[in-house]
Structure 1
Amino acid sequence: MIQLRGHHLFCLLGYRGMGYSKEYVVNMTKLHQRLREYPDTVVELVEGPDQLCEKYPNSGEYHCKDQNIYVRDAVILEKLGLKLGEVLPWHDIEHRVKDFVIPSDIQTVCETCNWRSYGVCEEGIQHIIDGKGLWEVK
């Protein structure tokens, strides 16, 4: 089982191998590939730092405990009709993205995210809507 916080559900959709540090990228790529290859993988929705946060570089201010991140987590879970503590397979999360999200939602839901300007999350959402699953990261 993989533990994920709300906003990381969207981060995984847009993930292309970029990250905060080499260690973070290795961890995220491994988790991303697992979900891509095995969409039956069970995900538990948690509050606060999750398995991706474990490898976030410690540069003084711990991004993963920032109050704005908790707000983004809650907004994304609400958008998907999910609740903290819920346990479900990754493919169910993809179905919810397909049913409840459009690419332009990133502009408001993730308004303060530094990665938004790359446009990869909108592309990732469209990829899910088109039934293609997560992007392949090499």
Structure 2
Amino acid sequence: MVKRSEKPVKLRGHHLLCLLGYRGMGYSAEYAANMNAVHERLRTEPETAVALVLGADDLCSCFPADQPYHCDSDTVARRDAAVLERLGLEPGQSLAWSELLRRIAAAVSPADVPLWCASCPWLQYGVCEEGVALVRAGGGLRPLGQD
């Protein structure tokens, strides 16, 4: 059941995977603080509604102005499309985070992450693959600070 009492979290396709591997790193302190808040909300309230969007989302909203803005790039859009296609989803849909985790567990493997995210600066850390593996094993989002 989707939690309707609060505004849904707006996420683009590939950020579904980024959240699985998130360990507190970010492009800036503001970006990390925003991502921490989204991550913690989804971790502690898995029935939170997630609205799937095309393009910039609630995480992109805090991307630092002093860095090259990649949120509208074709590479990122292709990454989003690949993730959503694998999950059988489209922008405009809204699902509970718990349902998204179920779909990821059933359809995504850790080996997919380097294929989709080859140009991502966070790929070298391997945390997204670890996050996908954890979800496939029946887990959810890891509490921040647990490595």
Which TM class, normalised by the smaller chain length?
A: over 0.9
Q: Which has the higher helix share?
A: 1
- Structure 1's unaligned 5+ residue stretches are none
Q: What does the per-residue CA deviation read over 1:44-74, in whole Å, with 9 as the maximum and x for residues that have no partner?
A: 0001111000100012531111111111110
Q: What does the per-residue CA deviation read over 1:97-130, in whole Å, with 9 as the maximum and x for residues that have no partner?
A: 1100111111101111111110000100011111
TM-score by length of 2: 0.91
Q: 1:105 aligned to 2:121?
A: no
> Runs of 4 or more off by more than 2 Å in structure 1?
none
Q: What does the per-residue CA deviation read over 1:14-43, in whole Å, with 9 as the maximum and x for residues that have no partner?
A: 000000000000000000000000000000
Q: What amino acid does structure 2 have at the position aligned with 1:14?
A: G
Q: 1:36 aligned to 2:43?
A: yes
For 2:56, the equivalent position in structure 1 comes to 49
Alignment of 1:1-138 (within 5 A): 1-59=8-66, 61-138=68-145
TM-score by length of 1: 0.97
Separation (CA, whole Å) in 1 of partners of 2:73 and 2:65: 13
Say which is worse superposed, 41-50 or 56-65, in terms of deviation: 56-65
Q: Secondary structure at the match of 1:64?
A: coil
Deviation at 1:135, TM superposition (A): 1.1
Q: What amino acid does structure 2 have at the position aligned with 1:84?
A: P
Q: What amino acid does structure 2 have at the position aligned with 1:111?
A: A
Aligned-pair RMSD on alpha carbons?
Answer: 0.9
Separation (CA, whole Å) in 2 of partners of 1:14 and 1:7: 12
Q: What amino acid does structure 1 have at the position aligned with 2:114?
A: Q
For 2:3, the equivalent position in structure 1 comes to none
